[in-house]
Amino acid sequence: MRSYIRAFIVIAVGCVVVALFRPTQEEPAAPILPAQADAHGAQTTLIRVPPSGPRIWYGADHYPRLSLPDGQQEVVRSVLNITKPMTFGSFVWNDDGIPDGPLWVRVDLGKQLLSVFRGGHEIGSAVILYGATHKQTPTGNFPILEKQRDYHSRTYDAPMPFMLRLTNDGVAIHGSNVREDWATHGCIGVPLDFARLLFSAAKKGDLVVILGAEQGAGKA
């Protein structure tokens, strides 16, 4: 297992989106911060809730955009304000006050992090397991093909609770015992309670974007 994920890459980060364009966590003098230039020179205005708040909001005129492997982009309106280290088995889920909207999932294999967005708002983030060298997790855009709450893999004789199938050859997101130095047979393993929440929120056809290490770094 590529176990290079450590607390230092997730302290005050929380998810890959934050790593891409969340500003430093100094306390603001006012709830509205001045415009800042992102990696591409674009001006991004950030509206921030108080430090204890659960969410960081971006200005409506300058929403950040995340590039997908097919060249499309997804607008991000807010991200979770995660201020504690995320480790193997940990996750955050908060959709309080977030309206219904299109749901999509972003998986960054390089950071071993999965983020869930609804209507442009990040509502969940979790540390994941993914495929070992001999059975790698594929990258690209994948619609959810099937949902099964109590699926059991016949190939590996293993439970895959809250399974969201992504490929016809069995790659899926499912509940798993997420531990350091563990890997999957190509699937994306998430903590069981997180898998339950994601299973309830997602539906067939929702988009899952899986990025390799070289794709997830610095792309916005």
Quick one: pLDDT at residue 215?
Answer: 62
pLDDT confidence of residue 128: 94
- Identify the pLDDT of residue 119: 96
Distance of alpha carbon 66 from alpha carbon 3, whole angstroms: 26
- Cβ–Cβ under 8 Å, residues 31 and 50: yes
- Given its phi and psi angles, is residue 68 left (phi above 0), alpha (psi -120 to 50 degrees) or beta? beta
> Out of 2.60.40.10, 1.20.120.530, 3.40.50.150, 2.40.440.10, which CATH number does the structure's domain 7-216 have?
2.40.440.10
CB-based contacts of 4, cutoff 8 Å, min separation 6: none
The confidence score (pLDDT) of residue 153 equals 80
Predicted confidence band at 154 (pLDDT cuts at 50, 70, 90)? Answer: confident
Predicted confidence (pLDDT) at residue 207 exceeds the cutoff of 60? yes
Mean pLDDT, residues 189-208 taken together: 97
Q: What is the pLDDT of residue 190?
A: 96
Q: Determine the pLDDT at residue 7.
A: 31
> Are the C-beta atoms of residues 127 and 182 closer than 8 Å to each other?
no
214 pLDDT more than 90: no
pLDDT value, residue 199: 98
Using alpha carbons, list the distances in angstroms from residue 175 to 3, 27, 152. 19, 36, 11
Q: What is the pTM of this model?
A: 0.76
Angle at 67 between CA 74 and CA 88, to 5 degrees: 90
pLDDT score at 51: 45
pLDDT-based confidence at 216, cuts 50/70/90?
low
**pLDDT at 35 (0 to 100):** 37
pLDDT digits 0-9 by tens, 10-59: 322 233 333 333 333 332 222 233 333 333 333 344 444 444 478 999 98
Give the pLDDT of residue 155. 77
